[in-house]
Amino acid sequence: MKNLYNSKEAPKKDDLALRVYTSRLLGQEPDLVLHGGGNTSVKTTVKDFFGNFVEVLCVKGSGWDLATIEKPGFPAVRMDTLLKLAELDTLSDSDMVEQQRLGLLDPAAPNPSIEAIVHAVIPAKFVDHTHADAILALTNNPNGKKHIKEVFGDSMIVVPYVMPGFVLAKAVQKAIAGKDLSKVDGLILMNHGIFTFDDDAKKSYDLMIKKVTLAEKYVAANLKANPIKKAKVTKNLLGLAALRKAVSNERGTACIARLSTSKAAGAFAATPKLATICKKGPVTPDHTIRTKRLPLYLADSCDATSATAKYAKEYTAYFDKHAKSETILDTAPRWAAWANHGIVSFGATLKEANIIADIAEHSVDTILKTEHAFGAWQALPAKDLFEIEYWELEQAKLNKGGSNKPTHQGKIALVTGAAAGIGFACAEQLALAGATVIGADLNPDIVETMAEIGGLGIVANLTDDKAITNVVETIINTYGGLDILVSNAGIFTAGAFLENLEQQNWDKSFAVNLTSHQKLLRETIPFLKLGIDGAIVLVGSRNVNAPGAGAASYSCAKAGLNQLCRVAALELAPQGVRCNIIHPDAVFDTKLWTAENLKRSAERYGLTVDEYKTRNLLKTEIKSANVGQMVSAMASPLFGKTTGAQIPVDGGNDRVI
């Protein structure tokens, strides 16, 4: 493990600034900590409100991540409060949280880490704690203590696994009692992680890197062959979409499904021991609140629905066996090991799916190496893992956001022609409603445009069959499924009466405004059938019901699109997939309409620009955002009982009405 400490960059005299600096060094190394894992602290002296000097522990606050932590992420807790708590024989979780908050100098600060008392009883000024993969490989096997002794000798104090928080604080206090800590480099917590400490921030950090490096070298030396080898994985996109649907249904909410076929994921999925390993447990109990105790094991040709149902049944039995007064969480898995295909991570949001994917990736790497180096992976017993998964303090971290969720949370939406105008507005509104959005457009700006709203942009010519296939496969490979299709790509080809209409004009309009939509439907329908509340919204035009002279190629193609919508609605209704079409008109806030174009058009009718924009029955301006809002609504449960409908967004057009 590389030591990243840079004396030129490190703060010189500010204790808390130094604490932030070395904490970030630890946090940016995923082999040490992942997504909020680990914690660090510094003991220092500060002035209280009355100007009195107070000894405090500045410890990582709940909800902060070491990789990005700043000074406000280290709430200052009075040391005398923490040390008095450490003297108690027992302390409930709720009392611990309450008393630690009462000890804060700033009542608005975040909750101190659940390990605050542990940090307090270790007398060193700087204390670092991580869940290093290599340390967990050493401890999570039948001969863990033996391997620790061989690696570290007497330089580390070994603490048997106990529940984190107050119980761990008492165990650490007992373990270091009477010890000359100047001759000790840190603590190894069985099945949990490692502590290093020193009165100097750099030395504490250096010790962490040194000890983890020793563990990494020891694991590598015990590997007869590298178990992380490139394995052949099989592509099964429809199977992935079916798995996502089964898990989403079990969880009761749409989920993103991230498929990994990395070297580690492929090797894990290819191991003959997969079914057995999947029943052993996680690399550290801290992961259980995100990943649950076990992944879903999915055989190569297994039915996803039945496998997920079996997992739910076994999870319920696990809960019933260990629960006292707790309420069962949802019974859906958080990640799956899919034989010969890879590993799949599920999240109700893209952020959650990415976090679980990172944890799963590190887990399979560590488990494989431990199996090969030390003969067997051995996690904690189910009882201990249950206590962490259902620990009220840990659950509180995940429940801070409340119960309300955005309309399209967890759903995956494809919007074509999304680089600008109505297409971008649709993509933006879906993203604001919680959807993971993919935009496809011929314009290269689509990549940057989608990135602005947290989406994925794909440059594609949607009249090309291969390009369409690539778009769809990219979506399923990346997110696991497709729920919403907004088929918007189009061009306006007006400008000639029928007798003067060039065939190229007609053919191009039909290729873009009709045939490309038909091709897109052909490729997406198999996945929309496996989507969550599948919905298609086609973007038509007022010209369908009120065509204009000289616009035959555009009007007829859009009329064909209207008919395509009706047929799709008839065909897909049995599978619960809705198909509706929207007919916007006079949307002038797009790149197609410059100030000069608007002025010229208004003058033709003897109107001002404002009058021209509101030339409808409601005398209201139609903006692209209005169209996007309607499309988002039509893809939502609000229109859950509607299919085959034509919805105008035109302020009321007398010719249409």
Digit-coded pLDDT (tens) for 556-589? 999 999 999 999 999 999 999 999 999 999 999 9
Backbone angles phi and psi of 284, in degrees to 5: -150, 145
Last residue of a domain, one of 341, 366, 398: 398
pLDDT score of 399: 58
pTM of the model: 0.92
**Are 162 and 296 in the same domain?**
no
Tokens 């946090």: give the residue: 27
Residue 537 placed within a domain = yes
pLDDT band at 493 (very low <50, low <70, confident <90, very high): confident
Say whether both 489 and 553 belong to one domain.
Answer: yes
CATH number of the domain bearing residue 372: 3.40.225.10
Average pLDDT over residues 26-50: 94
- 5 lies in some domain: no
Q: What is the mean pLDDT of residues 188-209?
A: 97
Residue 655 lies in a domain: no
Query: Does 149 lie in the same domain as 22?
Result: yes
Same structural domain, 135 and 202:
yes
Task: Tell me, yes or no, whether 282 and 384 share the same domain.
Answer: yes
- Residue 95: pLDDT over 70: yes
Cα–Cα dist 212/193, whole Å: 10
Same structural domain for residues 509 and 438?
yes
Confidence of residue 594 (pLDDT cuts 50, 70, 90): confident
Residue 334 to residue 357: CA distance in whole angstroms: 9
Residue 227 has a pLDDT of 83
Q: 6 in a domain, yes or no?
A: no
Q: CATH no. for residue 502?
A: 3.40.50.720
Domain end: 175, 191, 222, which one?
Answer: 222
Same domain assignment for residues 357 and 245: yes
Q: State the Cα torsion 598-603-604-605 to the nearest 10°.
A: 100
Edge-first strand order for the sheet with 484-487 is 456-459, 436-441, 412-416, 484-487, 535-539, 578-584, 646-649
The overall average pLDDT reported for the chain is: 94
Q: Are residues 610 and 634 in the same domain?
A: no
Is 229 inside any structural domain? no
Residues 352, 255 contacting (CB under 8 angstroms): no
Mean pLDDT confidence for 144-160 = 96
Is pLDDT at 36 greater than 70 in this prediction?
Answer: yes
Q: Are 550 and 612 within one domain?
A: no
Whether 121 and 209 share a structural domain:
yes
pLDDT digit string, tens, across residues 207-225 = 999 999 999 999 999 997 7
Using only the alpha carbons of the chain, give its radius of gyration.
Answer: 30
The structure tokens listed for 7 are 């004396």
Domain that holds residue 256: 237-398
Identify whether 403 is part of a domain.
Answer: no
| Per-residue pLDDT tens digits for 364-403 | 999 999 999 999 999 999 999 999 999 877 666 555 555 6
What would the pLDDT profile of 325-335 be if each residue is shown by its tens digit?
A: 888 999 999 99
Helices (runs of H) and strands (runs of E) counted in the chain = 25, 18
Residues 166 and 267 in one domain: no
The catalytic position among 218, 554, 605, 612 is 554
Q: Which of 354, 357, 351, 316 is nearest to 335 (CA)?
A: 357
State whether 39 and 187 are in the same domain: yes
pLDDT of residue 402: 56
Please report whether residue 227 resides in a domain. Answer: no
Q: What is the pLDDT of residue 224?
A: 79
- Number of domain units in the chain: 4
- Residues paired with 104 in a beta bridge: 77
Helix spans in 252-291 (H)? 263-270, 274-277, 288-291
Share of the chain above pLDDT 70, in %: 98
Residue 654 lies in a domain: no
Listed range (50-64, 74-88, 397-411, 495-509) with the worst mean pLDDT: 397-411
Say what the pLDDT of residue 398 is.
Answer: 54
Q: Out of 166, 191, 222, pick the residue that ends a domain.
A: 222
**In this structure, how many other beta carbons lie within 10 angstroms of the beta carbon of residue 497?**
10
pLDDT score at 445: 96
Residue 554 catalytic? yes
